Structure 1
Amino acid sequence: MTTQPTAATSTQASPDAFRSLMSEFPTGVCTVTTRDLDGEPWGMTCSSVTSVSLAPPTLLVCLRAGSPTLQALLNTGSFSVNFLHAQGQKTAELFASGNPDRFALVPWDQPPGACGPHLVRDAHTVADCEVVLTQRMGDHVTVFGEAHRITRQHIRPPLLYGQRQFRSWSQTDPSQT
């Protein structure tokens, strides 16, 4: 059975329409961190994170092409994904702002063997990853990272982002569909 396209289904996917579509898909919030070859910390907020494989344990992050964080990550070949908890909204906003002093404004540490800074107050869990593959698509680069170490820092509900709003897992209502 075929259906005739309606005005609602035949609309061209503009960047604004696509952004609006994706805003309706809630996702967890992370901060991707790394250090450049001189040891300077870099980081940015990222909601484009997903698991890829259990063996080897691999995830992917999508970062804006041209980002200094992406450049540092590619130069060193390693990064950390800080999965933010519900009280990490201010840090998510800070690392999305581009503020050059962001690392001076939040507590962080880089333990021995870590692949990037760990946001010790605002991340519930951190995955330290080595870059295994990159793929450019449009204005972003997908970075595949093999997780070598996972550090649980806090037991708190994760920070979510959807409909252009931050929420915690505990603020969601599973009875609404």
Structure 2
Amino acid sequence: MTADQVTAPSAGPEVFRSLMSTLPAGVAVVTTADVDGTPWGLTCSTVCGVAMDPPTLLVCLRDESPTLHAMRRTSAFAVNLLHEAARDTAELFASGAADRFDRVEWTRSPHGASPHLEGAAHAIADCRITGTVGIGDHVVVFGEVLGVRHPTEDERVPLLYGFRRYSSWPVEP
């Protein structure tokens, strides 16, 4: 059977959303700085490693996202992987609040000036855009990883999102 022989209709957005809500994922805040230095960012649970050489990851963002538009203008972004105590940060950046960067501590990256949320992240990757692919109402952004930081000395447990709620990875003593 070939792809053109599959005649079933698409599952539809609500059915697809119900499927994806059952897949727990790490929570990240994707950030960038626009050409004028304005910080942008949003909560994202679609982050995936793609290749080891060159080190590349992907993020999927809504095609109308102001953060995506700023990323495309500068070709740079950071992926802030949140730890379990950063639920408030995840919710803040998911809200789209205009003052979100006024309500969190952040510093500029040495690679492209993308904001680092050091107090909320257990790891941060600075990336350069190497490609994009539009699919439906989202854009897959591929980023070559230029640097990685672990802001804290202690091992932090990642924040997870699945089944429409936040959780964390259970840690064995």
TM-score by length of 2: 0.90
1:11-22 map, 5 Å: 13-22=11-20
One-letter amino acid of the counterpart of residue 146, structure 1: E
In structure 1, the partner of 2:162 is 162
In structure 2, the partner of 1:98 is 96
In structure 1, the partner of 2:55 is 57
| Alignment partners' CA distance in 2, 1:170 and 1:87 | 14
Contact 1:130 1:146 in 2 (8 A): yes
Does the residue aligned with 2:69 lie in a helix, a strand or coil?
helix
Q: Offset of 1:11 from its aligned partner?
A: 8.7
Does the residue aligned with 1:86 lie in a helix, a strand or coil?
coil
| Alignment partners' CA distance in 1, 2:112 and 2:132 | 21
TM-score by length of 1: 0.88
In structure 1, the partner of 2:127 is 129
> Alignment RMSD, CA only?
1.6
Runs of at least 4 residues of structure 1 off by over 4 A?
Answer: none
Contact 2:76 2:112 in 1 (8 A): no
Q: Which has the larger radius of gyration?
A: 1
| Alignment partners' CA distance in 2, 1:12 and 1:133 | 27
**Contiguous gaps of at least 5 residues in structure 1:** 1-9
Q: Offset of 1:75 from its aligned partner?
A: 0.3
| Alignment partners' CA distance in 2, 1:55 and 1:75 | 25
Quote the sequence identity (%).
52
| Alignment partners' CA distance in 2, 1:79 and 1:52 | 16
Deviations 1:128-152 (A, max 9, x none): 0000000000000000000010001
**Contiguous gaps of at least 5 residues in structure 2:** 1-7
1:142-153 map, 5 Å: 142-153=140-151
